[in-house]
Amino acid sequence: MKKLVLTLGIALALFSANAQDKKPVTTVTPPTNNATPVSNADIKFEKLIHDYGTIKQGGNGDCEFLYTNTGKEPLIISNCQGSCGCTVPSCPKEPILPGKKGVIKVHYDTKRVGAISKSVTVNSNAKSGTITLQIKGNVEAAPIEEPFPSQKTTTGAPFEK
């Protein structure tokens, strides 16, 4: 019992000594002003939705979204993210100069049968902020090809009715 009380007393003493050494953490927030820095780059897409219509399973699932930098500074696309693993966007890494055009390529995996309704989120330094592009359509199942039945040779007597 004495060992237990002694151990608890030492642990308490160490804990209180350690707690006294710590200084309270104060956070200083810089003064905020309502004028947030805004980029003079802006992005304008020719279309925000691509409709594949009806395509065959395993067909071409590629599409492109063309855009123009309508701002006065270089446009930097920092991230393009598909809504799932079957939608893979490809965005340019280099800045797009004012007045110049660019393209975001999107590949949809057409192995999945059924309706398509996916999105691609585009983050950039544009005034307009984050843009969401959409793809839609329907993937039709490919016909199942069965081999033509071959003539089977029968053995034995013919069957009569």
Task: To the nearest 10°, report the CA torsion of 101, 118, 50, 43.
Answer: -30
In three-state secondary structure terms, 35 is coil
For 103, the token pair is: 């393209």
**What are the structural domains, with CATH classification, of the chain?**
43-140 (2.60.40.10)
pLDDT digit string (tens) for 107-139? 999 998 999 999 999 999 999 889 999 999 999
DSSP H helices, the chain, are 2-21
**Bridge partners of 114?**
139
Strand order, beta sheet including 114-124: 49-56, 131-140, 114-124, 77-82
Kindly calculate the radius of gyration of the chain based on its CA atoms and give it in whole angstroms.
Answer: 32
pLDDT digit string (tens) for 28-75? 444 444 444 578 899 999 999 999 999 999 999 999 999 999 999 999
20 phi and psi angles, rounded to 5 deg: -70, -30
Q: Contact, 80 vs 89, CB < 8 A?
A: yes
Q: Contact, 75 vs 124, CB < 8 A?
A: yes
Is the pTM of the predicted complex or chain greater than 0.85? Answer: no
